[in-house]
A and B are shown apart, each in its own frame.
Chain A
Amino acid sequence: MSRPRFLLPLGIVVALAAHPVAAQRVELQVTLSNDTLVDGRLIRLPQVRTLNLLAGRWGQALRNSLPLRLSYQIEIWRSRDGWIDQYEKTVEWGIVVRHEALFDQYTVTTPRARGAPEVSLATWEALDRYLSRERLILARPGGRGTYYFHVRLEVTTLSEDDLEELERFVRGEGTDPDRDRNPANRSVLQFLMRMTGGLQSERVEQRTEKFVVR
């Protein structure tokens, strides 16, 4: 078997893949805080800012009284130059945004937020400004060395059809085990969902620069 034949499928794969992806509509900005002494160590903390959340379909969904759920995950990685990076742990938190029609106000619930975990806002502009505010995440690397954070945000609407899946998520049981038994079904389902109703969620990711914990 000649090598050029083997390169053909690789070329096809690369050609198919070489299509630039446009920027995601929801924008995630992740920066690092100043050095801070915590438990005898100098660390930097991730600062997360979510922009353009209400500009498109998510804003439309909220106006239609569908609550929005923002699920954040921060993976803490230890960088080992020239070798495999070491995954340390993941911290998670979430935000739920609701429109309360009778009071004509918006409620933002952030259960892990210090101070005011639930905030009511009277106007769309105030809501947009509040959601765009910087969040400082108390995510602490476990040791010393060079680290970075990988931040993932998934935006979904909370519909009743999604409830069973979310029930499991809330209970910490993962996804529907019946679906897990057949991931091929899931792939086809995603395809059909795209045909019938478009994507049900949006995911964006960002990584911080590396920093040293001393």
Chain B
Amino acid sequence: MTLIVIQKGFASSVQDLGRCGYQRYGMIVGGAMDQPSAKLANWLTGNHESAAVIEFSFLGPSILFTEDTLFALTGAVCRPTLDGNSIGTGRPCLARAGQILVIGGMVYGSRGYLSVAGGVDTPLWFGSRSTYEKAGRGGFEGRLLKEHDRVPVGKPSEEMSRVMAGLAGSKRQTVRWSALPRRKYQETQTIRVMPDTLWPRFSAASREAFLKTEYQITPSSDRMGFRLNGAELMLDNPLELYSEAVTNGSIQVPRNGQPIILMTDHQSTGGYPRIAQVASADLPLLAQLPPGSTLRFQMISSEQGEAALVRQEEELEQLHRCIRVGIVKQITGFSD
């Protein structure tokens, strides 16, 4: 079974939860920028959370289904249509063979996820299907999707086949409920950060500016990193640093004083001074902010960061349970 890409959208690629365990060899982890949304998309189509999905940015792809397919869209808010009929996001939908899904532009947020029951079934490479563009491996032929690509899809579970059979009988081809993560988008987004070891080595004025002024995400931001524009950050004294491991959310400050937040496709090591680390719980939200968005940083401790992450995962797990209930009801005919 395949999906045929009719329009590629912007930077559409196959992603899962990343390729862990090989950073010591200089490989990136990669994976979905907004991981809770990718997991959610998979749960809605009965997949394991680590199944591969299609991630798109700013402008979604258009997809032709070659067979009856159960799919779901999550992440950025958009106005998708199936053969011209508007369908919602955050819910399982049935596409009949020959139907075309048009995702279009994002109304709010930057990155969306398309999952299909059975998962995108490109070959595993080092335990992951995430696209590693620089290495030309992983995902769909190691590159972004383009028109006429035929993306392979796995076989849906028995349970999902029954959901599909049920939806095939309904006019709407979808369920009445939807499941979306709780997120608070604001005009100026507050992003929680934790101090890096070098925090005290930045000048008092820089530390104050970092926490009291706004930073804007510039257009030269991508899956590797978000380049920010705002008050210059300076060390008290220049430091000679050796390259060392960095991670998602590391905020590096090159010599021009403008911070860069490392995102999913960041290199495994870096040699710039780091001022702070973005709390892991705020990374999915950050990943959704388009260029031009303004940020304000709020300092928390790494213990608070961990607590926020654990809480977020618990909430997500609750959402997962609700989806399970919704799917079971769908099969047993209690709803819709």
Query: Are A and B genuine complex partners?
Result: no
Q: Which residues of A contact B (CB under 8 A)?
A: none
